[in-house]
Amino acid sequence: MMHTLPNLPYDIAALEPHISANTLTFHHGKHHQAYVTNLNNLIQNTDLADKSLEEIIHATAKDPEKVSIFNNAAQVWNHTFFWNCMKPQGGGQPTGDLKVMIEKTFGSYETFAAEFKQAAVTQFGSGWAWLVVEKGILRIMKTPNADLPMVHGATALMTCDVWEHAYYLDYQNRRPDYVDTFLTHLVNWDFAATLLNAS
Ligand code: FE
């Protein structure tokens, strides 16, 4: 089974001025595409060739000899997920059950946002900040490099890519500004709410 690069769920310029078409051209068209291409090359003619992306991630997560396959497979999954975590005119507060759960868990949306930003900004080097649900409980997670909640028993509801390639063309070294913008103008809470309902 060949893995393919999914289309962005919006136009390449739809997240401007917050994330430029230039950033998405590289981030989706070059970085995400490279993970897809590398994964297909690495699994060719192996017992993973006919497995789903999730099966590959779980099968390689704890195997030191398959780190490259895990990294590329996880990054394919992470990026596809991340594109859906943003939308034009996104941002602000969630609604419905998700809003109630966030307020119950963190005290307020503002406290949640501050803690999420703290996780995103303090992830040393490359990685991801996440809102996850685990056994019915919401929590914030951060992971290095390609690591992701599904191999730690948690279900991802939302993520922010904090690899430099996600923001450097638009924000240079200002990761805190990028994360603020992500929460204020981009995050797609409808997507997270759908995942919470399905969890
Ligand atoms: Fe990325």
| Res 1 pLDDT > 90 | no
**pLDDT of the residue at 6:** 98
Q: What average pLDDT does range 166-191 have in this prediction?
A: 97
Q: How far is the CA of 166 from the centre of ligand 1 (A)?
A: 5
Cα separation, 3 vs 23, in Å, equals: 23
Report how far Cα 123 is from the mean position of its chain's Cα atoms: 14
Angle at 18 between CA 101 and CA 109, to 5 degrees: 20
Nearest CA to 148 out of 63, 57, 60 is that of 57
Q: How far is the CA of 161 from the centre of ligand 1 (A)?
A: 6
Q: How far is the CA of 107 from the centre of ligand 1 (A)?
A: 30
Q: What average pLDDT does range 85-91 have in this prediction?
A: 98
3-state secondary structure of 136: coil
Mean of per-residue pLDDT scores for the chain: 97
Q: How far is the CA of 3 from the centre of ligand 1 (A)?
A: 17
**pLDDT of the residue at 121:** 97
| Res 106 pLDDT > 90 | yes
Q: Let me know: does 88 contact 62? Beta carbons within 8 Å.
A: no
Strands 155-161 and 127-134: antiparallel
Q: How far is the CA of 197 from the centre of ligand 1 (A)?
A: 26
Residue 175 CB neighbour total at 10 angstroms: 20
Nearest CA to 30 out of 170, 129, 165, 159 is that of 165
Q: How far is the CA of 150 from the centre of ligand 1 (A)?
A: 18
Outline where the chain has alpha helix (H): 21-26, 33-43, 53-60, 67-84, 96-106, 109-122, 164-171, 175-181, 189-198
The tens digit of pLDDT for each residue in 141-162 reads 999 999 999 999 999 999 999 9
- Model confidence, pTM: 0.97
3-state secondary structure of 170: helix
| Res 126 pLDDT > 90 | yes
